[in-house]
Amino acid sequence: MKKEDLRHQLFIDGASAFHSVRPDIARQHPELLDAYVCPLCLGAFPESALATRPPRLTIEHVPPRNQSGPFLKLLTCHSCNSRAGTELDSHLDRRTRLRRIGAPGAPAERIQISLAGEHLQGQLYHDEKAGAPRFEVSGRFNDPISLDRVITALRKPGNWEAQAQSVVSYNKRRVRVALLRVGYLVAFAELGYSYAFTTNLEPIRAQIQQPKEDLLPGPFLLRNGYTVELDRFDGRAFLESTTEPRCIAVAINGESIFLPARGGDSAALYTELDQRPEPIPMTFRVLDGWPTRPAYRTDST
């Protein structure tokens, strides 16, 4: 499906879901008839927002395209999408790059090593022929005198210890909020506006919009420590707890984003999680795998 056709279909589906939840909106605000509401900022957009350049409504990929797929595709406004790319997704990308340094198929990354009292920069990558990581030093990145000193030292008999540090860095809080955003959008796609519009989700949207602030009272992102079989879902799934505290969770690559259940209280959930030892003993059942399009399951009930 062409991008324009996909945007149009996502608009129609989302507008229909929103108006099934809020049929009164057209009577109160006729200009919002058949409008699409961004799930992040709750701004309402007419269908003409698809035709502007750039479009005011854009296709959001969840997780971001700098991660591996499959991807959920839904509409968010241009402002929310572009701001997330700068403030959140870039940090998630850097963490992924750091975790994959030297792995097969990973791109070469610049790192700095400390050896023989000198600091050198080079590239670390996976050598396919050798089947192992390989570090290459280039004079382009280094002081020639320092490079000569290291070469001279290495020619002498003896053992040398080197310390390596990546020049790529990321902000841990921004990564956590980026994943919270992923979890929120998956929950919205699965459950719809009737879930996202509850007042208990307001603190979560505020945390996403203000990633520098610490707005939630406890942990919302944890390593997978609960009982559920995820292998057949490639480590990604939409879950519901069957034990206390009642909540939903979005599992992705060994981590889980915890969100309040329908009618649940976000503050109470995160406070209780904060008071429990890790790994938190919880049991979940799988509601769905990773969605690729919004289902809005509760908007028509």
Q: Determine what percent of the chain is predicted with pLDDT higher than 90.
A: 44
Q: What is the mean pLDDT of residues 290-300?
A: 93
* Residue 147's pLDDT band (cuts 50, 70, 90): confident
Delimit the domains of the chain by residue range: 1-170, 171-287+296-301
User: Who's near 216: CB < 8 A, 6+ residues apart?
Assistant: 203, 204, 207, 266, 267, 270
Per DSSP (E only), the strands in the chain are 36-37, 44-45, 57-62, 72-77, 109-115, 118-127, 132-137, 163-166, 221-223, 236-241, 247-252, 255-260, 284-288
The string of pLDDT tens digits covering residues 258-282 is: 999 988 889 899 988 888 776 667 7
**pLDDT of 231 strictly over 70:** no
Give residue 101's pLDDT.
Answer: 86
Give residue 31's pLDDT.
Answer: 66
**pLDDT of 225 strictly over 60:** no
**pLDDT of 180 strictly over 80:** yes
Q: At what angle do helices 90-99 and 172-191 cross, to 10 degrees?
A: 110
**pLDDT of 103 strictly over 80:** yes
The burial class, CB within 10 Å (0-12 / 13-18 / 19+), for 10 is buried
Long-range contacts at 245-248 (CB < 8 A, ≥ 24 apart): 245/269, 245/272, 245/273, 245/282, 248/187, 248/287
Give residue 206's pLDDT.
Answer: 96
User: Do the beta carbons of residue 18 and residue 36 sit within 8 Å?
Assistant: yes
Position 141, amino acid: F
What does residue 190 show for φ and ψ, rounded to 5 degrees?
-75, -50
* Range name among 127-131, 144-148, 161-165, 202-206 with the lowest pLDDT average: 161-165
**pLDDT of 227 strictly over 60:** no
Q: What is the mean pLDDT of residues 253-257?
A: 87
The string of pLDDT tens digits covering residues 2-51 is: 889 999 999 999 999 998 887 777 677 666 678 999 999 999 999 999 99
Q: At what angle do helices 202-209 and 266-275 cross, to 10 degrees?
A: 70
Give residue 282's pLDDT.
Answer: 78
User: Who's near 9: CB < 8 A, 6+ residues apart?
Assistant: 1
Tokens of 144: 């020639």
Q: What is the mean pLDDT of the chain?
A: 87
The string of pLDDT tens digits covering residues 60-77 is: 999 999 898 889 999 999
Which residues sit opposite 258 in a β-bridge?
249
CA distances, 236 to each of 57, 134, 183, 297 (Å): 27, 32, 11, 19
Give residue 295's pLDDT.
Answer: 95
CA-based torsion, 55, 58, 59, 65: positive or negative: positive
Exposure of 155 in the CB half-sphere (CA atoms within 13 A): 6
The rounded distance, in Å, linking the Cα atoms of 44 and 35 is 6
Give residue 199's pLDDT.
Answer: 87
Whose structure tokens read 């406890």? Answer: 218
* 3-class SS of residue 263: coil
Where on the phi/psi map is residue 201: left (φ > 0), alpha (ψ -120 to 50), or beta? alpha
